[in-house]
Amino acid sequence: MTESVSSGGERPLHLQLGLTDAELEEIVSILGREPNEIELSMYSIMWSEHCSYKSSRIHLARLPSEAPWVVVGPGENAGVVEIGDGLGAVLRIESHNHPSAVEPFQGAATGVGGIIRDILTMGARPIALADPLRFGPIQAETAGGPQGVTEAEAARNRYLVKGVVSGISSYGNAVGVPTVAGEFDFAPCWSGNPLVNVFCLGVMPLDHLVLAVAANEGDYALLLGSTTGRDGIGGVSVLASAGFDDAAASAKRPSVQVGDPFEEKRVIEACLELFEEGVVSGIQDLGGAGLTCATSETAANGGKGMRVDVAAVGRREEGMVPAEIMASESQERMLAIVAEKNLERASAICKRWGVTASIIGKVVPGDNLAVVDSSNEAEDVRGLGFESSELVPVAEVPAASLSEGPKYERPMGKPASIEAMRQDSPDSLGAGPPLADALMNLLADPSIGSAEWAWRQYDHQLFLNTVAGPGRDATVLRVKGTKRALSFSCDGKARWCELDPRLGAAHTVAEAARNVATTGARPIALVDCMNFGNPEHPEVMWQLSEAVDGIAEACRALDLPVVGGNVSLYNESGGRDIWPTPIVAVLGLIDGLTAPPPPMGWNESGLSVYLLGQTRAELGGSAWAWRHFTHLGGEIPMLDLDAERRLGELLRTLAETDADTRSSLISSVHDCSEGGLAVALAECCIEFGVGLAADLSEVGELESLEPHEALFSESAARAVVSVQSENEAALLAAAHHSGVTATYLGSTGGNRIALGMVDISLDEATDAWAGALERALR
Amino acid sequence: MSEQGGPLVAVIVFPGTNCELDVVWALDCAGGRGELVFHDVSDLSRYDGAILAGGFAHGDYLRPGAIARFSPVMDGLRELAQAGRPVVGICNGFQVLCEAGFLPGALQKNAGLTFICAPANLKVERTASALTSLCTQGQILENVPINHFEGNYTADEATLRSIEERGQVILRYCGPSGDTSEEWNPNGSANSIAGICNEAGNVVGLMPHPERAMEEITGSTSGRPLLESFVESARQSHGAALGVK
Amino acid sequence: MRSKVTVLIRLKEGILDPQGKAIEESLPALGYGGVESVKVGKVIEMIAEGADAAEIESRVRAMCDALLANPVIEDYEVELTAAREGG
Amino acid sequence: MRSKVTVLIRLKEGILDPQGKAIEESLPALGYGGVESVKVGKVIEMIAEGADAAEIESRVRAMCDALLANPVIEDYEVELTAAREGG
Ligand SMILES: Nc1ncnc2c1ncn2[C@@H]1O[C@H](COP(=O)(O)OP(=O)(O)O)[C@@H](O)[C@H]1O
Ligand SMILES: [Mg+2]
């Protein structure tokens, strides 16, 4: 926000700050008086969409969040689930969409920094990051991109992609948390409003769990880390919670924040040592709404009051007023609540790591957050305003009223266009281009082809946990000191959600869970990032509500508790709302990992290849229709959650590694998703450069399929496996036992991807797929 | 040497270092015993050798290793080096050793100007060093991860000539069959240099991360001969005189 | 005309400079006190060929906007020094 | 005396400059021809306090030798501009 809080302007201050008249009335009734300017600014940032979830809260409440293994569910900085051996896995997903649209490198970098602090705040060492990303097309229509995309637009999107990826690389690598997974998708709806979501995973001894509470009177509030500047002031309400066009984006430029991974690294190590020594009684990261949020939430959670002296806050800019200090979103800061007897130890630990720690507040009786400013007091009192009850606060409000915020039940309405879209079946498209061309095109599509260009720039091995790294259906990380491993996958299916947000969101969950199952893991928790358009549009609220129900339904069916998430609204591009883009991350647990799980592809000749699951004529919302016709219409594939569940269980049994032989029943496993069976088979060939001779005429025993349907249909609940001939009988028995159809497709070998109805060169396919993203970015 | 287990190795931690726990883990795999030593410690006399772990000491701000080289621990490292005990800098540690003048040359940004985290093949060019004594001349170590933005080894002509003549290059990037031509050079390093040593061979710097290639389950065991050589030379230098006695 | 061109690129006022900060913090320990507000920027030098000084300058400015600087967080300055051969 | 000090750090002649090379190679594709010998260096600015200009300059040179530049591959230049307050 560029206007200063005290500036008059013609419009009343509360409106300038983004509060409505009704919200102002609510504040007056809470306080029993008119708020002053500082109080008003504190309410405005805390009651922004980004901090208060005012439009989404009533819907999020419908997500199932309980399971016996959930230690901390939604509502805290991150979810915590028990994984055995006294350990907990800590997970969270966040978005940094709007900052990344303005400055892709720093926007993505500070997004990484922010999510890491959320994990750290629980008491855990952050051990892995993942970045699901969405951008506008990076190829103009003339270069094979979707219809209507100009070269200028594509060039801008390429700039955003490169900036975001190098921001993630630069910050993530330097801060010392490996980035082990990610995801790309491209479509016009994200042009100018990229989605930069970040997932972070931590592991901790459960007895180190710390919460964001200030429950003991007399404890001190220590601000750790970076100095406080004007950067990001109002970033929450302006950058993250309002749609913007190009002109406004330029006006907001000065509030761009720069990440300092070195400071964050020191903060991580210092905090882990503080936890190890048990010297903090509560801790909260400073993210959106800065000190206002951290102080009010810890006090409210502890049922206490807090007194904060802004004069004690170390600043890097001159002339900052209290409202600015309380609102600043300067990065790389944490608020630790420390008992007096532990102050010395805490300071010593911070000093050793070169982390500045200043006492800025104190836990006091009552339930108010009181802000004092002792900068003009005598020297012996200056910076110690939290100790004296004489100083008159410059702001004083009930702490809980800031963090609770309003709750809206915004009007909802099904988009008028949706029925027409669903009726526009892909049947009208005919058989499309020649099958070989279609397959090559899909492999070369940057949404489908290899993302190695990106993950080569990410340190994905640090901590020596990465057993299956980026590029796989799911990432597998061993948990050192135990026999266990964690597996996770991030997924989003926006095209499907645009056609049917409820079913599409449910599919998203199913796909992530299936990915995790291919590594032999049992899904145990989910976090979601709800990226949607303008909540003031009833269509968007309908999409959000439907998507929540879809996620809830799938989670219930698959026994998956939702342990946290994030909501990002006002994502618009060219005045149009983005496709509804819920992104989920599913975490799975492997109890005994003795060897890497089977790879996605086959690495030898002579293996038998089977398709598990059933194929229907389901091209609605498919990559095939989109890639060749920029067509989005028809019904999306059906979802049989029971079939997903049975397939998941089967995959787990098949992929499990035997402790003695250190091998599993199957030689490879890969699920079918974007691009259907043909793309899945091609990817299996590409991984180790071993071809396939198959016959797909048996595919689709339920209905007779056209060749392009057999190849590119995106029916759910399917996977491709390969087995040694001596294991075929066991595979078939296991599939039969799980009630999963297994169809023999052919056997591995050679240098062709020969699928009967189509036959392409493995070398050419490899080249198309491996260079897809890098070529498009040139 | 420690009572239990192998030689005791100081694993140096600067603020911003991030591979220290990995190096301790890998030393354990190689039969040594790593102990974290913070950069403010200057007496390393109880250690049989030292490894400067990778990461981003002081954020790599200004230049990688530029600020780190002023830490008190550098005195201790100098003493170890002079006493002939093995001192190895991995990645960021290599950058620190060059900045501090333990090793010639400097490391610049990769020729492709992007960070690279990828497997590389290495050819052993000299076996008389703390890191390669158990290797054979010309041995190819497959799939040893590299993970850096500034790993492009640079030196002026005269320096390059001198280190080549004195056989100070211990590892070069190569293809699967040992071809060290430009085609296999991932970062533009002069003469495809991946690692060098001092004349005595006890001070070594390399960009690749042998500690990431110690176990089948994480993808490669090609780092083992390197770290096992290191542990062996630490074992042999146990008790070597420190300073002028 | 051939001219040597120097472009100085600096972070805008108010934008955090982590490098400058790290250098400033480390100087006192190395015995170099009395220094503050350390900022790190880039200098790009090149030889440019053009019709005249004005034409060269405007072309280099366009290059700065498009590629050399990040206008969101950086300012730049372009200076032409005496026309000369070599770099 | 307080003075603003500017330090220019450049790669030595003959040392390959990957950044400069990358910029030089990408310019023609963006429609900016007629440019060669692109070199990228650093500019470090600071406010230094000292007895007089000579004392400040020699102290900054010492900082360059010790920390700011890497003598193996870099050269530097120190310039004191008008004494002034603020950064
Ligand atoms: N879509 C969602 N699904 C589940 N939980 C959510 C969702 N969005 C937000 N939450 C939960 O609401 C809480 C508040 O989120 P937020 O204010 O973004 O936290 P922080 O201030 O730490 O960034 C978190 O516990 C988060 O997990
Ligand atoms: Mg938080």
The string of pLDDT tens digits covering residues A96-136 is: 999 999 999 999 999 999 999 999 999 999 999 999 999 99
Residue whose CA lies nearest to ligand 1 atom number 2: A565
Per-residue pLDDT averaged across A533-547, rounded? 97
What number is the ipTM of this complex?
0.93
Find residues 2-61 of chain C whose CB sits inside 8 Å of chain A.
11-12, 14-18, 21-22, 25
pLDDT above 80 for A6:
no
Chain C contact partners (≥3 CB pairs within 8 A):
A, B, D
Nearest atom of ligand 1 to the alpha carbon of A114: 23
Residue A234's pLDDT band, with cuts at 50, 70 and 90, is low
Q: Name the closest residue on chain D to residue B188, using Cα atoms.
A: D18
Q: What is the pLDDT of residue A317?
A: 82
Q: Is the pLDDT score of A240 beyond 60?
A: no
For the segment A649-663, the average pLDDT, to the nearest whole number, is 90
Catalytic residue among A14, A96, A628, A708: A96
Query: 1.10.3720.10, 3.30.1280.10, 2.40.440.10, 3.40.50.300: which CATH number matches D2-82?
Result: 3.30.1280.10
CA distance A206 to A124: 9
Protein residue closest via CA to atom 9 of ligand 1: A566
Residue A644's pLDDT band, with cuts at 50, 70 and 90, is very high
- Percentage of chain A modeled with pLDDT above 70: 96
Condensed to tens digits (0 to 9), the pLDDT of residues A292-338 reads: 999 999 999 999 999 999 999 999 888 888 999 999 999 999 999 99
pLDDT of residue A50: 87
Sign (positive/negative) of CA torsion B156, B157, B158, B164?
A: positive
The pLDDT-based confidence of A249 (bands split at 50, 70, 90) is very low
CB contact under 8 A, D19 and B110: no
Does the beta carbon of B110 lie under 8 angstroms from any beta carbon of chain D?
Answer: yes
The ligand with the least distance to the CA atom of A49 is 1
- What is the position in ligand 1's atom list of the atom closest to the CA of A529? 1
Locate A336 and state its tokens. Answer: 């630790």
Contact A80, A208 (CB under 8 A): no
Q: How far is CA B107 from the centre of its chain?
A: 13
Q: State percent of chain A over pLDDT 90.
A: 88
SS3 A299: helix
Q: Under an 8 A CB cutoff, do D67 and B156 touch?
A: no
The CB of A565 under 6 Å from ligand 1? The reply is: yes
pLDDT of A2 above 60: no
Question: Mean pLDDT across the stretch A420-439?
Answer: 96
pLDDT digits (tens, 9 = 90+) for A565-616: 999 999 998 889 999 999 999 999 999 998 999 999 999 999 999 999 999 9
Residue A96 is among the residues annotated as catalytic for this protein:
yes
A5, pLDDT greater than 80: no
Inter-chain contact B61–C29, Cβ cutoff 8 Å? no
Question: What is the spatial distance between Cα A140 and Cα C59, in angstroms, rounded to a whole number?
Answer: 27
D81 at interface of C, judged by CB pairs closer than 8 A: no
Question: Which residue has a Cα nearest atom 24 of ligand 1?
Answer: A75
3-state SS class at B185: coil
Q: How far is the CA of A227 from the centre of ligand 1 (A)?
A: 26
Ligand 2 centroid to residue A411 C-alpha, Å = 29
pLDDT of A658 over the 90 cut: no
Strand ordering across the sheet containing C74-81? C74-81, C2-11, C35-49, D35-49, D2-11, D74-81
Question: What domains can be seen in chain A, in order of their start residue?
Answer: 63-205+471-593 (3.30.1330.10), 210-404 (3.90.650.10), 412-443+595-778 (3.90.650.10)
Strand order in the sheet with A368-372: A282-285, A333-338, A220-225, A357-364, A305-309, A368-372, A395-398
Q: Write down the domain spans for chain C.
A: 2-82
Count how many Cα atoms sit within 13 Å of the Cα of residue B199 in the half-sphere of its side chain: 5
Mean of the per-residue pLDDT values of chain B: 95
| Burial status of residue B243 (CB atoms within 10 A of its CB: 0-12, 13-18, 19 or more) | exposed
The answer, yes or no, to whether any atom of ligand 1 lies below 6 A from the CB of A287, is: yes
Fold of B8-241: Rossmann fold (3.40.50)
pLDDT at A549 > cutoff 70: yes
Alpha-carbon gap, residue B88 to B130, rounded angstroms:
8
Banded model confidence at residue B5, pLDDT cuts 50, 70, 90: confident
* Residue A23: band (very low, low, confident or very high) from pLDDT cuts 50, 70, 90: very high
pLDDT at A535 over 90: yes
Q: Which residues contact D20 (CB under 8 A, 6 or more apart)?
A: C44, D37, D38, D39, D40
Contact A515, A586 (CB under 8 A): yes
C-alpha to C-alpha distance for D20 and A397, rounded to whole angstroms: 56
- CA–centroid distance, residue A286 to ligand 2 (Å): 7
User: Which DSSP letter does residue B215 get?
Assistant: B
| CA nearest to A669, candidates A467, A558, A520, A452 | A520
Dist CA A111 CA A164 (whole Å)? 10
